Amino acid sequence: PGPAWDYTKKPVWEYSKPPTPNDEDPWMYSTVPREQMEFVRSETWRAMEDACKEGKVKAIGVSNFTVKHLKSLKKRATLW
């Protein structure tokens, strides 16, 4: 797992609210180079899948993804 997985999993497992810019973990998607975004999306989705499989959340999803983003994500997804 990388920073995207950690960034997603941490608030789901440890907190009752999502992180804000003032939280300890300052890692933000805007700091990720464009060529790494596909990997970041994939790792974030994997962390959300883990949360769903472990019963931490009932459903997962995305917004503001293009068809290209969805097709890329679907190649690696275990939950769809």
Question: Which pLDDT does position 28 carry in this prediction?
Answer: 46
4 vs 48 pLDDT, higher one: 48
- Could you tell me how many residues make up the chain? 80
Sign of CA dihedral 60, 42, 2, 19: negative
Q: How far apart are CA 11 and CA 49, in angstroms?
A: 14
Please tell me the pTM assigned to this model: 0.65
Name residue 51's amino acid: A
Mean pLDDT, residues 13-23 taken together: 54
pLDDT: is 18 or 75 the higher one? 75
**Stretch among 9-18, 20-29, 57-66 having the lowest mean pLDDT:** 20-29
